[in-house]
Chains A and B, each alone.
Chain A
């Protein structure tokens, strides 16, 4: 009996296949090569430590003399993120329906929309920001357009996946009634996918708030522009104030979105 059990007991570790071993060795080689290309240097890090300490020292106490324009810039940053996310989510919903395997009007439409959304997603935020700054000029409008693109790239894909994963039951019931396709999407697919849609939208808002801070560095409006100016003028005390304000903004949005998530998921119509 015990011999039989031992014979069927699986080994603790399986012997890797030759292909798996070669892939692992290849990954290690690539990583080592990348470490040298990334310029990791312990001596350089150690020599930079006094500078870090000096800058950190100059950050304390944070400056409060420009607090009013900074607060306005933080508010603008949040407003850009909010508007960009809401418009992005609204654009993402129909795109997601066209991208979802079970609701697309035609497979060709699905692959076309998927390609467009993949392109939007793969172009980095900063590239979009530079493009819009060059197109519509400096300021929050360029930033908001960037955040719309960022939200569409993120939300359309995850919305489509959420819609595809909805249980077939309720949509099948409306199909059996003879309901039009638009009604099946609005009354069954979207409500059933709603928890996931709400989660994704709130994550998109948090992501937009963080992204909007960076966008200011290239002139696309918001608190990022203040941060870039403070750093360029070696006003590390002002930079510290801005970093604290950004920290408070991101933290508040995360807290608010957590509460909104709980409250909205309880809602029904």
Chain B
């Protein structure tokens, strides 16, 4: 599995070099010396068995979990070693879609979407939609319309189905106006149809806005269908880095053996 994709180095959205992570008390590292580049606009799937460290890799790139060593750059800007304020600014360029949606369930759908604008504005008027500016409210509605949920804007986020919640989380990411999106098993908690719908919406938005996408998935068909490139983690290292068109489901199953 060494059909390595050749990145366009002049236009690199994400650069990871020699990243290693071992949790305290664990006998072995989650992974060590992981390096890869993701060019702007590329869609990358990360696959691997349970415990292979896929989610940890995404979290380490955002420094939601601190890596032990190595470096991460977003569009040429180093993320490792940044203080809290500059780190917050670097994070704001990346939208993160979580497996469990991570919406504030007691707030309205529109307020949850509005929170995405905290990436570029620190005004307290973003705390709740009732005090937000007309401009922010309108843009939040526009983002909700893009995931076809405009009619649910006033609903409490805790009342939504799993598929609807994940689409609201995607709308929140759109509100953020990111250059890159990380998605950690975005359809893992959804039924097959809802999962397919979410991936479809996701894929269209990423393609139409030329966003870079890095997503973790256990759905091998999603990895082949929605990604340009697949990274595979196994045995504590980056075991696979290949163009998805050159891969088959059988080959990807090898990552789980």
Residues of A within 8 A of B (CB): 169-170, 172-180, 182-183, 186-188, 191-192, 194, 268-269
Q: Once the chains bind, are A179 and B104 in contact (CB under 8 Å)? A: no
Contacts A176-B91, A178-B90, A183-B124 known; 19 new A-B pairs at CB < 8 A: A169-B102, A170-B102, A170-B104, A172-B102, A173-B96, A174-B118, A177-B95, A177-B118, A180-B118, A180-B122, A183-B115, A183-B118, A187-B104, A187-B107, A187-B127, A187-B128, A188-B104, A268-B106, A268-B156
Give complex CA distance A57, B242 in Å.
Answer: 94
How many residue pairs bridge A and B at CB < 8 Å?
86
Q: Closest A-chain residue to B104, C-beta based? A: A170
B103 close to A (CB within 8 Å): yes
Q: In the assembled complex, which residues on chain A have CB atoms less than 8 Å from the CB atom of B94?
A: 176
Q: Closest B-chain residue to A181, C-beta based? A: B84
Q: In the assembled complex, which residues on chain A have CB atoms less than 8 Å from the CB atom of B89?
A: 178
A184 CB, min distance to chain B CBs, angstroms? 9
Contact of B128 among A170, A175, A269 (CB under 8 A): A269
Q: Once the chains bind, are B127 and A175 in contact (CB under 8 Å)? A: no
Q: Once the chains bind, are B122 and A183 in contact (CB under 8 Å)? A: yes
18 CB contacts below 8 A, A to B, read A169-B98, A172-B102, A174-B118, A176-B62, A176-B91, A177-B91, A177-B92, A177-B116, A177-B119, A178-B118, A183-B122, A183-B127, A186-B127, A191-B106, A191-B107, A192-B106, A269-B111, A269-B129
Q: In the assembled complex, which residues on chain A have CB atoms less than 8 Å from the CB atom of B129?
A: 269
Which of B87, B92, B103, B106 has the most CB atoms of chain A within a 10 A radius of its CB? Answer: B106
Q: In the assembled complex, which residues on chain A have CB atoms less than 8 Å from the CB atom of B176?
A: 177
Q: In the assembled complex, which residues on chain B have CB atoms less than 8 Å from the CB atom of A182?
A: 124
Give complex CA distance A168, B92 in Å.
Answer: 19
Q: Once the chains bind, are A176 and B64 in contact (CB under 8 Å)? A: yes
Contact of A174 among B90, B100, B115, B124 (CB under 8 A): B115
Give complex CA distance A180, B126 in Å.
Answer: 11
**Prevailing SS type, chain A contact patch:** helix
B88 close to A (CB within 8 Å): yes
Q: Once the chains bind, are B107 and A269 in contact (CB under 8 Å)? A: yes
Q: In the assembled complex, which residues on chain B have CB atoms less than 8 Å from the CB atom of A172?
A: 64, 98, 102
Give complex CA distance A188, B91 in Å.
Answer: 18
B33 close to A (CB within 8 Å): no
Q: In the assembled complex, which residues on chain B have CB atoms less than 8 Å from the CB atom of A186?
A: 124, 127
Give complex CA distance A205, B59 in Å.
Answer: 43
Q: In the assembled complex, which residues on chain A have CB atoms less than 8 Å from the CB atom of B156?
A: 268
Q: Once the chains bind, are B122 and A269 in contact (CB under 8 Å)? A: no
Q: In the assembled complex, which residues on chain B have CB atoms less than 8 Å from the CB atom of A178?
A: 87-92, 118-119
Give complex CA distance A172, B96 in Å.
Answer: 10
Within 8 A of A (CB), among B162-182: 169, 172, 176
Contact of A173 among B87, B98, B106 (CB under 8 A): B98
Give complex CA distance A192, B87 in Å.
Answer: 25
B6 close to A (CB within 8 Å): no
Give complex CA distance A191, B157 in Å.
Answer: 12
Task: Kindly list the 9 A-B residue pairs having the minimum CB-CB distance in the complex, ordered from nearest.
Answer: A178-B92, A173-B102, A179-B118, A169-B102, A178-B88, A176-B96, A178-B91, A191-B106, A268-B156
Q: In the assembled complex, which residues on chain B have CB atoms less than 8 Å from the CB atom of A170?
A: 102-105
Q: In the assembled complex, which residues on chain A have CB atoms less than 8 Å from the CB atom of B92?
A: 177-178
Q: In the assembled complex, which residues on chain A have CB atoms less than 8 Å from the CB atom of B88?
A: 178-180
B130 close to A (CB within 8 Å): yes
B108 close to A (CB within 8 Å): yes
B214 CB, min distance to chain A CBs, angstroms? 13
B131 CB, min distance to chain A CBs, angstroms? 9
Q: Closest B-chain residue to A191, C-beta based? A: B106
Proximity string of chain B (48-78) to chain A, C-beta cutoff 8 Å, 1 when within and 0 when not: 0000000000000010100000000000000
B97 CB, min distance to chain A CBs, angstroms? 9
Q: Once the chains bind, are A175 and B115 in contact (CB under 8 Å)? A: no
Give complex CA distance A268, B105 in Å.
Answer: 9
B78 CB, min distance to chain A CBs, angstroms? 16
Give complex CA distance A74, B124 in Å.
Answer: 41
Give complex CA distance A186, B106 in Å.
Answer: 12
Give complex CA distance A13, B156 in Å.
Answer: 50
Give complex CA distance A191, B91 in Å.
Answer: 23
Within 8 A of A (CB), among B98-151: 98, 100-108, 111, 115-116, 118-119, 122, 124, 126-130
Q: In the assembled complex, which residues on chain B have CB atoms less than 8 Å from the CB atom of A191?
A: 104, 106-107
B28 CB, min distance to chain A CBs, angstroms? 25
Q: In the assembled complex, which residues on chain A have CB atoms less than 8 Å from the CB atom of B126?
A: 183
